[in-house]
Amino acid sequence: MTNTEKQHGSPAAMGGARPTRQRLAVARVLEGHDDFRSAQEIHALLVDSGEKVGLATVYRNLQRLAEAGEVDVLRTEDGEAAYRRCSESHHHHLVCRSCGRTVEVEGPAVERWTDAVATEHGFSDISHTLEIFGTCQNCS
């Protein structure tokens, strides 16, 4: 059994679904890259590595992994979904518009602000995501 299968091969880790060959292959690709990748890029990496998997299957598996909290989903400025296996703690992302470099950041001030806004409007059990887009030092 591979490390991916040990860590992410259980039905709970696979979004409640059976850990298929394709799902495990998608998880392996995500583990092998630190940056966010589109479904098309993940599909191309799988095909290049010899996996026989359709793009629709990649999308379905990414959706299951996202629903299970196994991957983060980022919407790029042009609206495309990008995926990455991230840390399990709550965090936000700084994303370079030029090269796509992504840095995970914690934002205590953001957490306080979201809690205050929710309380002010009578909301509870809130969640949020935050991506900050800019140009990294290497691309400036």
Tokens of 85: 């296996």
Question: Is 90 labelled as part of a ligand binding site?
Answer: yes
Contact criterion met (CB below 8 Å) for 131 and 95: yes
Contact criterion met (CB below 8 Å) for 39 and 60: no
The end-to-end CA distance of the chain, in Å, is 44
Residue 26 CB-density burial (10 A; 0-12 exposed, 13-18 middle, 19+ buried): buried
Question: Is 99 labelled as part of a ligand binding site?
Answer: yes
Contact criterion met (CB below 8 Å) for 44 and 108: no
Question: Is 139 labelled as part of a ligand binding site?
Answer: yes
- Binding residues for Zn(2+), as ranges, are 96, 99, 136, 139
- Binding residues for Fe cation, as ranges, are 90, 111, 128
- Binding residues, as ranges, are 90, 96, 99, 111, 128, 136, 139
